[in-house]
């Protein structure tokens, strides 16, 4: 492809419940320096990985991870990545450290760094939850064979429906980047992405939008209008759907709504937790 695709998070909404680090207790107590306390097993994993260091240095590493998570939560991705990179040098075998560094790089569009850290996280943890983001970074780098391999791996994993949906969208985009639009459309449509639903979830809106984009690129403008229209009827503020419809010559009347939907991302294709939802994965 001539230019890397935009990060998935430009049009994919994040699952905030998984995007935030798990707290040590229900009150979300913070440490004395104001950074979120780490889950006990993550802090323990960092200390074990630095077993040759002094006790003081091990605690400094834990504090650095707390600062990295705090920076990530506040959207300060360069700072989070700087801390994460420092931690990788010393405790790069801790999955949570790799995950944080990988998603920080992903949010910054630093595809090589994102792919390197997310691939390491996946190998270390054995978990599929970062594969959609890894696929998106690999797609941006033009490594389409690796995108396909990761998609095959994910399809045979125990990933939840949201992660599978995000990864399927990336896999379809990878096919489209190579001019294989019919296959890209079939990949989404065969999984039910075109199905009309009375009460669609965010996952369904994302799939409708992605499929509409593919139909537009393939020259099937009526289907593109139909699917963009579905998204707009559910949420006229979603992504850039109103502009897409205007460009196709069809506008959807806006209706009063509550606060504008955050146009963050993919997951955030992903799910982009600064910390894994289950301890020190």
pLDDT at 32 > cutoff 70: no
pLDDT of residue 249: 84
The answer to whether residue 136 is domain-embedded is yes
In this prediction, residues 266-272 reach a mean pLDDT of 38
Is residue 269 domain-resident?
A: no
- Note the pLDDT of residue 6: 40
What confidence score (pLDDT) does residue 184 get?
A: 96
What integer pLDDT is reported at residue 210 of this predicted model?
Answer: 94
Whether 115 is in a domain gets the answer yes
- Asked if the structure places residue 216 within a domain, the reply is yes
End-to-end CA distance of the chain: 34
Domain membership of residue 260 (yes or no) is: no
**The CATH number of the domain where 173 resides is what?**
1.25.40.10
* 185 inside domain: yes
- Cα 156 off chain centre by: 19
Instruction: Examine residue 12 and state whether it is found in any structural domain, yes or no.
Output: yes
Mean pLDDT taken over the chain:
80
Report if residue 252 sits inside a domain: no
Greater model confidence, 159 or 71: 71
* pLDDT at 213 (0 to 100): 94
| pLDDT (average), residues 79-94 | 97
Expressed as residue numbers, the domain containing 150 is: 8-247
The pTM score is 0.76
| Lowest-pLDDT choice from 17-26, 48-57, 109-118 | 17-26
Yes or no: say if 8 and 165 are a contact pair by the CB < 8 Å rule: no
pLDDT band at 38 (very low <50, low <70, confident <90, very high): confident
For residue 17, pLDDT over 50 is answered with no
Token pair belonging to 143: 């490594």
Tokens for 144, please give them. 């389409």
Residues 44-59: tens digit of each pLDDT: 999 999 999 999 999 9
Q: What is the pLDDT of residues 187-225, one digit of tens each?
A: 999 988 888 888 888 889 999 999 999 999 999 999 999
Partners of residue 36 on adjacent β-strands: 30
Task: Please count the structural domains in the chain.
Answer: 1
Q: What is the 3-state secondary structure (H, E, C) of the chain?
A: CCCCCCCHHHCCCCCHHHHCCCCCCCCCCECCCCCECCCHHHHHHHHHHCCCCCHHHHHHHHHHHHHHHHHHHCCCHHHHHHHHHHHHHHHCCCHHHHHHHHHHHHHCCCHHHHHHHHHHHHHHHCCCCCHHHHHHHHHHCCCHHHHHHHHHHHHCCCCCHHHHHHHHHHHHHHHHHCCCHHHHHHHHHCCCCCCCCCCCCHHHHHHHHHHHHHHHHCCCHHHHHHHHHHHHHHCCCCCCHHHHHHHCCCCCCCCCCCCCCCCCCCECECCCCCCCCCCCC
């Amino acid at each position: 492809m001539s230019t890397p695709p935009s990060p998935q998070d430009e049009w994919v909404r994040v699952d905030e419940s998984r995007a935030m680090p798990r707290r040590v207790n229900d009150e979300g107590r913070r440490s004395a320096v104001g950074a979120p306390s780490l889950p006990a097993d993550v802090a323990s994993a960092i200390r074990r990985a630095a077993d040759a260091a002094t006790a003081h240095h091990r605690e400094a590493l834990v504090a650095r991870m707390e600062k990295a998570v705090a920076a990530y939560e506040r959207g300060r991705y360069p700072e989070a990545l700087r801390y994460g990179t420092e931690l990788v040098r010393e405790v790069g075998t801790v999955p949570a450290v790799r995950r944080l560094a990988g998603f920080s790089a992903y949010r910054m569009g630093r595809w090589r760094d994102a792919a390197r850290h997310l691939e390491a996280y996946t190998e270390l943890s054995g978990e599929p939850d970062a594969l959609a983001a890894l696929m998106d970074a690999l797609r941006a780098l033009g490594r389409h064979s690796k995108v396909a391999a990761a998609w095959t791996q994910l399809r045979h994993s125990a990933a939840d429906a949201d992660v599978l949906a995000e990864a399927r969208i990336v896999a379809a985009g990878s096919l489209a980047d190579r001019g294989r639009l019919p296959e890209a459309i079939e990949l989404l449509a065969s999984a039910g992405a075109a199905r009309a639903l009375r009460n669609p979830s965010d996952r369904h809106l994302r799939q409708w939008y992605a499929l509409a984009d593919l139909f537009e690129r393939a020259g099937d403008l009526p289907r593109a209008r139909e699917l963009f229209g579905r998204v707009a009827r559910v949420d006229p503020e979603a992504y850039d759907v109103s502009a897409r419809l205007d460009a196709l010559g069809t506008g959807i009347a806006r209706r009063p709504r509550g606060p504008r939907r955050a146009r963050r991302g993919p997951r955030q294709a992903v799910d982009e937790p600064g910390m894994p939802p289950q301890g020190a994965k």
